[in-house]
A and B are shown apart, each in its own frame.
Chain A
């Protein structure tokens, strides 16, 4: 008797847990792929055109391509939690950061034979550029109290134009293989570099959350701004800070994105990534209206999106039609996680529990 009730408690607990949605999504997708054919999960050791031994396979593709989204999800979760709104300018800001990085690397000539500056310096400039964009959004949101979605609409509209303007609308191309490491493979390491970068970012943010009060402060500002001010926090500063942190995440994504193709396409780079990033936060079960958040769930949510995309590609869904299927999955997930539906499920759980108790 005690045993069963404990078990049931765990099940209803699971329904309330934030990690439930992404984990269940992963399980469903995995089962689905196993039914279609387990060859999906094969991982091979291949040689790429540079002669390096690299891992390849669908799972590696997911880890590789989902990494940008995972990095973005970190910053987006913080922004969502603190400000109760979302930054829709991340795609455009990635274009700005990427453009700045390429500008520094190329110098005056758009097609240099070798890089004109060390990558670290270019990355540094990219970080500064993205942080400035974040700071701009942050000032509008925190100081002028404009709703985040509206405030970031400004950079959303202007970002790609600014990115084109930085490089005078030329298409810089970096020929050095070294620059391609960030979006590809470092020789001797078989794991795709974006995934390694994502792991480093996740590790950093978890250390920050563990050893500083960032997470706690962000949540308290998001739950009740006035209460947070009364207990001595500075909501303006904290909101501003979350936007700057998102800026850093954006710069890292920008580096990966431009490194993948060693060039940039202003209108296409990181297109619609803001929607996916917000989706990652929502799939992680975080309230988009701010407050409590779960970082791990968001990051998992980002990989779920990539998992879904890769699965759909496997089903031979054309790239243009992809969003329609994605939308259906998203709707099913959010309906399942809707408060009313969850209530219904937990009520059902309680009912069966009490009826069993009566029977006993």
Chain B
């Protein structure tokens, strides 16, 4: 609010890069929304555990959405992440339960599946120049189909070692709430959340400060200019798809750790949620703009609004879908209006990234 009185706001916005501008909007909206929820709905949202649960439930989505953001920044798209996650969870479940494997090899399987999808999709997209949408659509079909071929029936994993990992809870010191018995209980997060936050941190650094990371932006912004700058466009696009699929594999394993079962219907619609959170987080599908921190906040905003809707008493199932869509709509329109306004304000000045 105080910013608005400041006459230099327009100036400051103009100087901001698109990525930072959209990131700022997302973070502000998330905090405003969460504070509103705290004020108006109180009880549940005041508990730190509610926030931790949002993280616990969405760790897999955060990881997949990070990969999605990188592909989108490079100007592509990957809709196979949900399918890959389902395939990973089913393969790991079968490996652990029917083959008596151990958790370590299960992780390797997850990474291997992600790597395989990434290499094939990346090669097809980057070197054969096929549209990423079609390639990853086929990837999604293939992953979903393979999941049922691996095992038709959904089942819960009873593997001891895996259960121990699944049930590991990391208590956060100092944060927590008093339960009904009057005992102070620390809020906890699952291992998946730590993995997710690590992924966000690593890719934030990669995108911001490494040569390869900047290449993603350059290729997404303008493939032609990137080529003229001497960037290996094909390799960059290949890497973006490779990273996305590997992250989808890791995301699949984290999802598997959260639900503890294998099923062909797992992670249904995850790809669309990942795209939606990336967009809310300020990544643009046209490429060249975006940030994984924004994506993290995109996921959090998306699930916060879902939590608000359910706890506000709109228990009918359709309200979640409608509110998420409404929020997406508002964000898109804001982005679009802001971008065109900014372009006008710069009036032909050079676009900085």
Cβ-closest chain A residue relative to B273: A157
CB-defined contacts of B128 to chain A, threshold 8 Å: 335, 338, 340-341
CB-defined contacts of B131 to chain A, threshold 8 Å: 282, 288-289
CB-defined contacts of A340 to chain B, threshold 8 Å: 127-129
CB-defined contacts of B1 to chain A, threshold 8 Å: none
CB-defined contacts of B77 to chain A, threshold 8 Å: 149
Inter-subunit contact B286/A86 (CB<8 Å): no
Inter-subunit contact B144/A150 (CB<8 Å): no
**A30 interface contact, C-beta 8 A:** no
Inter-subunit contact A324/B318 (CB<8 Å): no
Inter-subunit contact A278/B324 (CB<8 Å): no
Cα A161 to Cα B322 in complex, Å, equals 6
A145-B336, A145-B340, A149-B285 given; A330·B317 CB < 8 A? no
**Number of interface residues, chain B, beta carbon within 8 A:** 48
CB-defined contacts of A26 to chain B, threshold 8 Å: none
Inter-subunit contact B145/A153 (CB<8 Å): no
Q: How far is the CB of B74 from chain A (nearest CB, A)?
A: 15
CB-defined contacts of A330 to chain B, threshold 8 Å: 134, 137-138, 141
What per-residue 1/0 map shows which CB atoms of A286-297 lie under 8 Å from chain B? Answer: 001100000000
CB-defined contacts of A140 to chain B, threshold 8 Å: 329, 332-333
Considering the complex, which residues of chain B in the window 295-338 have a beta carbon less than 8 Å from any beta carbon of chain A?
316-322, 324-326, 328-329, 332-333, 335-337
CB-defined contacts of A177 to chain B, threshold 8 Å: none
Considering the complex, which residues of chain A in the window 211-249 have a beta carbon less than 8 Å from any beta carbon of chain B?
none
Inter-subunit contact B318/A146 (CB<8 Å): no
Cβ-closest chain A residue relative to B333: A144
Inter-subunit contact A158/B133 (CB<8 Å): no
CB-defined contacts of B276 to chain A, threshold 8 Å: 153, 157
**B210 interface contact, C-beta 8 A:** no
**Number of interface residues, chain A, beta carbon within 8 A:** 45
Main DSSP-derived SS at the A contact region: helix
Inter-subunit contact A327/B332 (CB<8 Å): no
**B124 interface contact, C-beta 8 A:** yes
Cα A313 to Cα B98 in complex, Å, equals 29
**B149 interface contact, C-beta 8 A:** yes
Inter-subunit contact A321/B149 (CB<8 Å): yes
**B139 interface contact, C-beta 8 A:** yes
Inter-subunit contact B332/A318 (CB<8 Å): no
Inter-subunit contact B134/A154 (CB<8 Å): no
**B51 interface contact, C-beta 8 A:** no
Inter-subunit contact A327/B138 (CB<8 Å): yes
Inter-subunit contact B332/A155 (CB<8 Å): no
Inter-subunit contact B142/A158 (CB<8 Å): no
Inter-subunit contact B325/A150 (CB<8 Å): no
A140-B332, A144-B336, A340-B128 given; A158·B325 CB < 8 A? yes
Inter-subunit contact B142/A323 (CB<8 Å): yes
Cβ-closest chain B residue relative to A145: B336
A154-B332, A279-B134, A338-B128 given; A323·B145 CB < 8 A? yes
Q: How far is the CB of B30 from chain A (nearest CB, A)?
A: 19
Inter-subunit contact B133/A278 (CB<8 Å): yes
Considering the complex, which residues of chain A in the window 147-204 have a beta carbon less than 8 Å from any beta carbon of chain B?
147, 149-151, 153-158, 160-162, 164-165, 169
**A326 interface contact, C-beta 8 A:** yes
Q: How far is the CB of A332 from chain B (nearest CB, A)?
A: 10
Looking at A158, A165, A288, A322, the one whose CB has the most chain B CB atoms below 10 A away is A158
A144-B332, A154-B325, A327-B145 given; A161·B130 CB < 8 A? no
Please list the residues of chain B having a beta carbon within 8 angstroms of any beta carbon in chain A.
77, 124, 127-131, 133-135, 137-142, 144-146, 148-149, 152, 264, 272, 275-276, 279, 284-286, 316-322, 324-326, 328-329, 332-333, 335-337, 340
6 closest cross-chain pairs (CB), A and B = A324-B145, A158-B325, A161-B321, A161-B318, A327-B142, A323-B141
| A-B residue pairs in contact (CB < 8 Å), sample of 6 | A86-B133, A158-B326, A160-B318, A321-B148, A324-B142, A334-B135
